[in-house]
């Protein structure tokens, strides 16, 4: 049986009748499907309803032919299928008229007349074929209409100019984009020749040659000069393509126009985005690198020299964190403008990212001239700037390298300028430094120290020393401060001033600080378990630790690890640190204080505390910086400042401790001034845990 022929469904409950009908309809054009009940017929239609004809027996058990057809005709998906009843009922039987009412189109009376059956089946199949052809034609027309509507929409809404020409090149229709751009109305263009539309006496030969190519090749593409109605000339990219009819003969041409200016503007915008900094509108790192390469090649070819500046803003992060990023952006824009005003038109200023800037001073006669420009930049930035109602002063550190005096390799030149900038920072900031061998040696030493610092924790090279704190008057030890010491196998004892700032800068202070807190709490608990008096251990928190999102969890974890009561831990924070984002700081300090941890402000008097915030901080202790203590009792200014700070602290119910006490005269003056506690070399230098244990033993005697 042909599986692709027109499908006919034969329904009869007697298998012999099904086989007979299948044999009669054994034809290449038919595909007979059999069902032995009304329900099976419905199941078959549920899977595939594409049948031309159903030959339905009337008398069947459970569901007879009438009930089956009634169900079929009630389903919209099946209602159009022709149904012919095959029955032994007589034509005069009332049931036959009922069958028509149910939806049958004809009856075949048993016994079956084979020729009559074949003729009727072919008639209904021919009707089915015609129906399908009509449906396909309707579908094709609908598809064509949709395509025409889509083409019309594209034509009307395209951003490119489009015109349709007849076979002779006469304009038939123009889309709105072309009319709007060229300034014409549709009627003005109809039946004009494309050559006449564009050609002037100057360009007529070009357009005539273009049209010859179109007619010969069926296609042309290239840049043309077009003219608006007002005579304005503008460049466009023109494409002309032929359209063939069913016989392969050219019936029309399609011309499309693209505005080259628009593409050029887009290309220029992309170039700008790729080569300039959006915030400051200065050249970015990419353009700077390209210019640097060209400058180096020019010097190699023609001689001369140029200077490379590498600079960043001193303590910009503090301003950014305190006032917010919007204020930081405004400051960077102001800085960019001031720096740009210090260089010549032939020079270049670039923003590398963040608060880092670079500059190229081209055609430099003497290396010393670069120093003059650097001084000018530093002076320009020193002038206060008003940002969001606050007056700020920003400084910069500048590193300078000279090409080719220092090196003729641009990567090395950049590294030398960067190294010199860090040297300027190490020398006190707000200054410039030329690259030199001394700078290189300092930088190499710094890199070596950083490399060793990264391995110090793993190699267990740190240890803690402890400096006791004494109550003024009684001389009783009230607590101790944990201070880290680094014993480097090759370098020996490294001073804290040499490695603590480096640890801060590199971020290593976070794991080092966690180790310090862990070891200090462990040691304090060890002394308590040994029976010594329970005292408070003070540990310094760095700015990086304080801002670390895991700081609160870290402190809590260490206290629980060593079973140390929070009251025996005191965290010292610098004044400038807690004033960065003060509102956020208050929440962190309240969380620490709420857990029972004591808080102290270290180096008080050296920062810029706001009294309105100071009274809101849950601080229990102020530590007076040693810079105010060293001049006591002779320095009158220091005496007045310390007296005022003690009065302020006591007014806020805070304990006052003076650090850096080294003489009996300082101690006596502080006692008279009402200072509560002291620490310093007058009593003890920081000592190892073993020596501090001896001190505790003496106290217990």
Whole-number pLDDT of residue 569: 95
Per cent of the chain over pLDDT 70 is: 91
Share of the chain above pLDDT 90, in %: 28
pLDDT score of 127 more than 50: yes
User: Which residue, among 619, 478, 618, 594, has the nearest Cα to 536 in the 3D structure?
Assistant: 478
pLDDT tens-digit profile of 508-538? 888 999 999 999 999 999 999 999 999 999 9
Going from the C-alpha of 161 to that of each of 240, 490, 539, the distances in angstroms are: 12, 77, 75
Query: Quick one: CA dihedral 436, 440, 441, 445, positive or negative?
Result: positive
Exposed/middle/buried for 104, CB within 10 Å: 0-12, 13-18, 19+?
buried
pLDDT digits (tens, 9 = 90+) for 271-282: 788 889 989 999
Q: In this predicted structure, what is the pLDDT of residue 188?
A: 83
CATH class, range 276-435: alpha beta
**Using CA atoms, how far apart are residues 602 and 657, in angstroms rounded to an integer?**
10
CATH of 158-264, one of 3.40.50.720, 3.40.1390.10, 1.10.8.60, 3.30.450.20: 3.30.450.20
Confidence of residue 606 (pLDDT cuts 50, 70, 90): low
Domain 6-136: CATH superfamily is Response regulator (3.40.50.2300)
Segment 226-230 long-range contacts (CB within 8 Å, at least 24 positions apart) = 226/182, 226/198, 226/257, 227/182, 227/198, 227/200, 228/181, 228/182, 228/183, 229/182, 229/183, 229/184, 229/188, 230/183
> Tell me, what's the pLDDT at 691?
93
Q: What is the pLDDT of residues 160-198, one digit of tens each?
A: 888 888 988 898 888 888 887 777 888 888 888 877 776
Q: pLDDT, tens digit, for every residue of 282-305? A: 999 999 999 999 999 988 988 899
Measuring CA to CA, how many Å separate 405 from each of 42, 401, 416, 439, 447?
Answer: 96, 8, 12, 15, 24
Question: Which part of the chain is CATH 3.30.450.20?
Answer: 158-264
DSSP letter at 567 equals G
Q: Look at residue 2 in the predicted model and tell me its pLDDT.
A: 41
Average pLDDT over the chain, rounded to whole? 85
**218-245, pLDDT tens digit by residue?**
888 887 777 777 777 777 788 888 888 8
74-83, 182-191, 256-265, 307-316: least confident range: 256-265
Q: How far is the C-alpha of 695 from the C-alpha of 380, rounded, in Å?
A: 56
pLDDT tens, position by position, 67-102:
888 888 888 888 888 888 888 766 555 566 666 777
Of residues 413 and 550, more confidently modeled: 413
Q: What is the pLDDT of residue 571?
A: 92
Q: Alpha helices, DSSP H only, in 543-635?
A: 543-547, 551-562, 575-578, 582-594, 611-614, 626-629
What's the pLDDT score for residue 701? 65
pLDDT above 90 (res 694): yes
Most confident of the ranges 87-91, 189-193, 261-265, 612-616? 189-193
Query: What gap in Å lies between CA 687 and CA 483, rounded to an integer?
Result: 9
Stretch 323-338: mean pLDDT: 87
pTM of the model as a whole: 0.48
DSSP state of 112: P
pLDDT of residue 643: 92
Mean pLDDT of 498-508: 83
> Are 521 and 537 contacting, i.e. CB atoms less than 8 angstroms apart?
yes
- The β-bridge partners of 481 are 467, 538
CATH assignment, 508-700: 3.20.20.450
User: Where, residue-wise, is CATH 3.20.20.450 in the chain?
Assistant: 508-700
Digit-coded pLDDT (tens) for 20-56: 888 888 887 888 899 999 899 999 988 888 888 889 8
For 193, which DSSP code?
Answer: B
- From the number of C-beta atoms within 10 Å of its C-beta (0-12, 13-18, 19+), residue 327 rates as middle
Q: Is 613 exposed, middle or buried (0-12, 13-18, 19+ CB in 10 A)?
A: middle
pLDDT value at position 472? 92
Q: Which residue reads 């395209």 in tokens?
A: 158
Q: Quick one: angle between helices 114-157 and 15-24, nearest 10?
A: 70
**pLDDT reported for residue 526:** 95
Band of residue 111 on the pLDDT scale cut at 50, 70, 90: confident
Write the pLDDT tens digit of every residue in 347-395: 999 999 888 999 999 988 888 889 899 999 999 998 888 888 778 888 8
Higher pLDDT, 74 or 426: 74
- Domain(s) of CATH 3.40.50.2300: residues in the chain: 6-136
- Asked whether the predicted pLDDT for residue 306 surpasses 90, the reply is yes
The region that residue 470 occupies, defined by phi over 0 for left and psi between -120 and 50 for alpha, beta otherwise, is: beta
Cis peptide before 486 (omega within 30 of 0): no
Q: What is the pLDDT of residue 1?
A: 37
- Chain centroid to Cα 372, Å, comes to 41
Mean pLDDT of the 247-260 span = 84
With beta carbons less than 8 A apart as the criterion, state whether 198 and 227 touch. yes
């Amino acid at each position: 049986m042909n599986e692709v022929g027109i499908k006919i469904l034969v329904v009869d409950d007697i298998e012999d009748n099904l086989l007979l009908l299948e044999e009669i309809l054994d034809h290449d054009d038919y595909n007979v499907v059999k069902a032995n009940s009304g329900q099976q017929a419905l199941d078959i239609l549920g899977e595939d309803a594409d049948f031309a004809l159903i030959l339905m027996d009337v008398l069947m058990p459970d569901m007879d032919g009438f009930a089956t057809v009634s169900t079929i005709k009630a389903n919209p998906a099946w209602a159009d299928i022709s149904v012919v009843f095959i029955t032994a009922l007589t034509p005069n039987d009332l049931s036959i008229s009922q069958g028509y009412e149910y939806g049958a189109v004809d009856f075949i009376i048993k016994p079956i007349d084979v020729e009559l059956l074949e003729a009727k089946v072919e008639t209904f199949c021919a009707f089915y074929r015609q129906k399908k052809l009509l449906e396909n034609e309707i579908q094709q027309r609908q598809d064509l209409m949709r395509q025409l509507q889509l083409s019309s929409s594209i034509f009307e809404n395209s951003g490119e100019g489009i015109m349709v020409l007849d076979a002779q090149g006469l304009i038939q229709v123009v889309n709105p984009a072309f009319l709007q751009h060229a300034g014409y109305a549709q009627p003005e263009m109809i039946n004009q020749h494309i050559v006449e539309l564009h050609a002037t006496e100057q360009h007529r030969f070009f357009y005539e040659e273009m049209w010859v190519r179109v007619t010969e090749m069926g296609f042309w593409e290239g840049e043309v000069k077009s003219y608006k109605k007002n005579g304005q000339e503008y460049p466009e990219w023109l494409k002309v393509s032929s359209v063939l009819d069913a016989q392969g003969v050219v019936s029309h041409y399609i011309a499309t126009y693209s505005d080259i200016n628009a593409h050029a503007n887009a290309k220029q915008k992309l170039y700008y985005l790729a080569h300039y900094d959006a915030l400051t509108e200065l050249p970015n790192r990419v353009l700077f690198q390209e210019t640097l390469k060209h400058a180096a090649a020019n010097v190699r070819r023609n001689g001369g020299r140029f200077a490379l500046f590498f600079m960043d803003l001193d303590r910009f992060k503090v301003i950014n964190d305190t006032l917010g990023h919007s204020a930081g952006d405004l400051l960077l824009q102001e800085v960019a403008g001031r720096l740009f005003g210090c260089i010549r038109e032939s020079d270049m200023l670039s923003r590398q990212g963040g608060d880092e800037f670079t500059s190229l001073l081209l055609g430099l006669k003497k290396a010393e001239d670069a120093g003059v420009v650097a001084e000018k930049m530093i002076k320009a930035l020193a002038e206060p700037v008003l940002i969001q109602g606050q007056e700020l002063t920003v400084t910069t550190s500048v590193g300078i390298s000279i090409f080719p005096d220092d090196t003729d390799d641009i990567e090395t030149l950049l590294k030398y300028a960067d190294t010199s900038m860090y040297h300027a920072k190490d020398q006190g900031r707000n200054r410039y430094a030329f690259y030199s061998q001394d700078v290189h040696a300092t930088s190499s030493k710094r890199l070596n120290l950083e490399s060793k610092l990264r391995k110090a924790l793993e190699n267990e090279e740190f240890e803690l020393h402890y400096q006791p704190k004494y109550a003024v008057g009684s001389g009783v030890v009230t607590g101790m401060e944990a201070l880290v010491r680094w014993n480097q196998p090759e370098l020996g004892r490294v001073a804290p001033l040499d490695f603590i700032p480096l640890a801060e800068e590199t971020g290593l202070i976070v794991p080092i600080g966690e180790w310090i807190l862990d070891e200090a709490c462990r040691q304090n608990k060890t002394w308590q378990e040994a029976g010594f008096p329970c005292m408070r251990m003070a540990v310094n928190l760095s700015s990086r630790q304080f801002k670390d999102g895991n700081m609160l969890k870290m402190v809590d974890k260490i206290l629980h690890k060593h079973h140390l009561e929070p009251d025996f831990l005191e965290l010292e924070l610098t004044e400038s640190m807690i004033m960065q984002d003060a509102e956020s700081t208050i929440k962190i300090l309240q969380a620490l204080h709420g857990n029972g941890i004591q808080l102290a402000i270290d180096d008080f008097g050296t920062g810029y505390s706001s009294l309105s915030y100071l009274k809101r901080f849950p601080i229990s202790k102020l530590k007076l910086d040693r810079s105010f203590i060293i001049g006591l009792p002779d320095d009158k200014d220091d005496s007045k400042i310390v007296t005022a700070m003690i009065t302020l602290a006591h007014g806020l119910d805070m304990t006052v401790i003076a650090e850096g006490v080294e003489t009996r005269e300082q101690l006596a003056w502080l006692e008279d001034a009402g200072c509560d506690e002291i620490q310093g070399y007058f009593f003890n230098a920081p000592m190892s845990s073993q020596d501090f244990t001896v001190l505790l033993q003496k106290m217990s005697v």
